[in-house]
Amino acid sequence: MPIKDLHKKPFDEGTLTKLQIFELYAREWLPVFLSKSSPSLSKIHLYDFFVGPGIDSKNILGSPLRILQHLRNFQRLDGFEKAKIHIHFFDNAPKKIEQLKLNVKTHGFHVSNIEYDIQPLGFEEAFQMAKKELADPHAAKLVFIDQNGVGNVTPEVFRELVNSPICDFLFFISSSTLYRFHEVSSIKQKIKRPNDYYHVHRSVLDFYRSLVPAGKQYFLAPFSIKKGANIYGLIFGSAHLLGIDKFLQVAWKNDQISGQADFDIDHDNLIPGQPTLPFREMLPRKVGIFEAELEGILRRGQITNELQIIELCVQHGVKRQHAENVLKDLKKAGIIDLNFRVPDIKRIKSPRPIIMKWE
């Protein structure tokens, strides 16, 4: 199937959602490693392996210029020059790389004091080259793989990313393609066909989850994007609770109903922005299931601090803020006692307790 050049037209809505999620995540990620108080890291590497020319036909910014825009904004941050920042932009189309270099200049996005590595390279070669840096335990890495289709994030590539220290990644994948052509031998990833086609991207995530080494704590989250009849999606990965927490905040900003799609993935028939209803059965399915489980666990005394609540939120793919109502209700009912409303991600090393009142 010929691949359309998406930069010759205006980006469609799904592409803009994808770019917005990546951009918002990068905006949250950067200050963690740029700030003075971050652990002593000597380098930061930002990878965009399918970089494109930087803009669409209407001058809307693509992923590389969005990264540079935020770096430019953070330039004045205390500690900006503490770690050396390396930008790696690759695309297999030499013309797009030339256009990108030009666009960086003409749009005023050249940021001083960073190392630029902008090259016309295909993914396989570029990824091979990046392996040494990805394995560096003293460098923080953010990786964006905005592939066309499905073929580049092979199990080997995925495992390499998962095993890289201090490395968060986001990759895009055409989940519908895997659904339709999962018997085609050139497509190596195998996914289980879901009963509900809307959940095809979740099945793709399950496939990748099965590749995480047994016993390794690793966090993955999906975000599904629908374009016509096709479902695409982003898969996010991080070894750190802080990373997945930031991603969930970003995802719920884009989808207030389920935090994981730009369409009604759970058939909730709710409209984003609609005021929340006071009855549990009127909540979006996902939030309702989470609240019921949290309440049961708290009533049984199986959660004793805020860190355990954060972990439960991550398992359910909800934000920490979703725990607030249950905590408030159980406190009011005299079942638990605690001195916070929303679990705080900054407290994961010294979590505040939750005390059972009948103890």
Ligand X SMILES: C[S@@+](CC[C@H](N)C(=O)[O-])C[C@H]1O[C@@H](n2cnc3c(N)ncnc32)[C@H](O)[C@@H]1O
Q: Is 89 a binder of ligand X (CB under 6 A)? A: no
Phi, psi dihedrals of residue 220, rounded to the nearest 5°: -130, 150
- CB of 165: closest distance to ligand X in angstroms? 25
Single out the residue of 63, 103, 164, 238 in contact with ligand X (rule: CB under 6 A): 63
Of 150, 194, 141, nearest in space to 172 by CA: 150
Q: Of 64 and 284, which CB lies nearer to ligand X in the complex structure?
A: 64
Q: What is the dihedral of CA 352, 353, 357, 359, to 10 degrees?
A: -160
- What DSSP line would sit under 192-223, residue for residue? PPPSSGGGHHHHHHHHHHTTSPTT---EEEEE
Q: Of 16 and 41, which CB lies nearer to ligand X in the complex structure?
A: 16
Q: Is 97 a binder of ligand X (CB under 6 A)? A: no
SS3 348: coil
Q: Is 23 a binder of ligand X (CB under 6 A)? A: no
- CB of 261: closest distance to ligand X in angstroms? 19
Cα 261 off chain centre by: 12
Q: Is 247 a binder of ligand X (CB under 6 A)? A: no
Sheet holding 43-48, edge to edge: 114-120, 84-91, 43-48, 139-145, 167-173, 230-238, 219-227
* 306: its two tokens: 């805020």
Q: Is 52 a binder of ligand X (CB under 6 A)? A: yes
How many residues of this chain bind ligand X (CB under 6 A)?
15
- CB of 58: closest distance to ligand X in angstroms? 12
- CB of 179: closest distance to ligand X in angstroms? 20
- CB of 81: closest distance to ligand X in angstroms? 27
- CB of 247: closest distance to ligand X in angstroms? 18
Q: Which residues of 137-162 are buried (b: 16+ CB within 10 A; e: fewer)?
A: eebbbbbbbbeeebebbeeebbebbb
User: Mask of contacts with ligand X, 122-161, x by CB under 6 A?
Assistant: xx----------------------x-x-------------
Q: Is 70 a binder of ligand X (CB under 6 A)? A: no
Q: Of 73 and 128, which CB lies nearer to ligand X in the complex structure?
A: 128
Q: Across-strand partners of 220?
A: 237
Single out the residue of 70, 88, 96, 316 in contact with ligand X (rule: CB under 6 A): 96
Residues 6 or more apart whose CB falls under 8 angstroms from that of 32 comprise: 38, 242
Helices 94-106 and 63-74 cross at an angle (nearest 10°) of 30
Q: Which residues bind ligand X (CB under 6 A)?
A: 6, 19, 50-52, 62-63, 91-93, 96, 122-123, 146, 148
